[in-house]
């Protein structure tokens, strides 16, 4: 890769790492949240629904700033994590992963919830009469049937995490090699004279990664849907 500078390679690698961990950690939580929103009846359900969708509507800068206030080294959660576990999120790549995860979360929950709504509860009843307890019903019937939505949600979230900019730059800034993700690198390059050609290369790479993710998601979820439909 002679035509990419080490800084550019760093940015691509960091973006992939941030998106990967953001997706991996938010997936179980998103499945749980989607299940709670679709199937459970509890006070505060609408509150939770609003909270999950908030990052979709808020300006990303606001989300980033709230993260900074909460998870910054002087923020209530940030100080707690640092004192007890030695975990620092602000201005680290882990913080970028947190910001990406929160920004991608609503997309993931929506996709998973759609697939959960399509699961016939009568099949779950049938599993119950065959001796399966609730956790087993979920593991053997509900989860496999919502697999297409989980795949779509995960890849959508991955792509969103790759491209997250506003909340990330607000929360963890734009430190080359540490918190400079692909979008931050592009932004930095177009701020300096003569950076356009380098920016264009990164733009093309961004487009390629996004397209690949989209095609992969299409292919995987079609495969999963075929399996679920039992053809």
Partner 1 sequence: MSLSVALRHRLPGLTLDIAFEAPPGVTTLFGRSGAGKTTVINAVAGLLRPDAGRIVSGGAVLSDSQTGIWLPPHRRRIGYVFQDARLFPHLSVRQNLTYGRWFNGGRRDADDMARILDLLGIEALLGRRPAALSGGEKQRVAIGRALLSRPRLLLLDEPMAALDEARKAEILPFIERLRDDARVPILHVSHSLSEVARLATTVIAIHDGRVVRAGPTADVLGDPEAVPTMGVRGAGALLTGRVIAHHDDGLSEIALSATRLFLPRVATAPGHTMRVRIAAQDVVLALDRPGAISALNILPATIVTLRQGQGPGVIVQLQSGQDRLLARITRRSADALGLAPGMACFGIVKSVSVAQDDIAPGPRPPRE
Which stretches of the chain bind partner 1, using CB under 8 A?
120, 122-123, 125-133, 136, 140-141, 144-145, 227-231
Please report how close the Cβ of residue 119 comes to partner 1 at its closest, in angstroms: 10
CB of 48 to partner 1, least distance (A): 26
Residue closer to partner 1 (CB basis): 139 or 211:
139
How many Å apart are CA 144 and CA 39, to the nearest integer? 17
Shortest distance (Å) from residue 41 CB to partner 1 = 16
Residue with Cβ nearer partner 1 (74 or 227): 227
CB of 144 to partner 1, least distance (A): 5
Closer residue to partner 1 (CB): 83 or 120: 120
Cβ proximity to partner 1: between 120 and 196 the closer is 120
Q: How far apart are CA 110 and CA 50, in angstroms?
A: 12
How far apart are alpha carbons 159 and 99 in whole angstroms?
A: 14
Three-class SS of the chain: CCCCCHHHHHHHHHHHHHHHHHHHHHHHHHHHHHHHHHHCCCCCHHHHHHHHHHHHHCCHHHHHHHHHHHHCCCCHHHHHHHHHHCCCCCCCHHHHHHHHHHHHHHHHHHHHHHHHHCCCHHHHHHHHHCCCCHHHHHHHHHHHHCHHHHHHHHHHHHHHHHHCCHHHHHHHCCCCCCCCCHHHHHHHHHHCCCCHHHHHHHHHHHHHHHHHHHHHHHHHHHHHHHHHHCC
Cβ 214 to partner 1 shortest distance, Å: 25
Nearer to partner 1, 1 or 231 (CB): 231
| Smaller CB separation from partner 1, 128 or 195 | 128
Smallest distance from the beta carbon of 107 to partner 1, in angstroms?
25
């Amino acid at each position: 890769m002679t035509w990419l500078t080490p800084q550019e390679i760093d940015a691509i690698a960091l973006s992939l790492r941030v998106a990967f961990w953001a997706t991996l950690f938010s997936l179980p939580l998103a499945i749980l949240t989607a299940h709670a929103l679709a199937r459970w009846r509890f006070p505060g359900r609408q509150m939770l629904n609003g909270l999950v969708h908030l990052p979709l509507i808020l300006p990303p800068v606001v989300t980033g700033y709230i993260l900074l206030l909460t998870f910054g080294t002087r923020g209530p959660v940030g100080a707690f994590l640092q004192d007890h576990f030695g975990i620092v999120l602000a201005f680290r790549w882990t913080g970028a992963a947190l910001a990406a995860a929160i920004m991608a979360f609503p997309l993931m929950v929506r996709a998973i919830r759609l697939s959960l709504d399509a699961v016939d509860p009568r099949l779950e009843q049938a599993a119950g009469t065959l001796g399966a307890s609730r956790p087993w019903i979920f593991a053997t019937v509900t989860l496999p049937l919502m697999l297409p939505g989980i795949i779509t949600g995960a890849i959508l979230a991955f792509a969103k995490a790759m491209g997250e900019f506003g909340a990330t730059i607000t929360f963890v800034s734009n430190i080359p090699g540490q918190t400079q993700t692909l979008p931050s690198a592009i932004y930095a390059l177009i701020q300096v004279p003569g950076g356009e050609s380098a920016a264009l290369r990164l733009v093309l790479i961004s487009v390629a990664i996004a397209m690949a993710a989209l095609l992969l998601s299409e292919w995987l979820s079609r495969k999963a849907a075929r399996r679920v439909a039992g053809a």
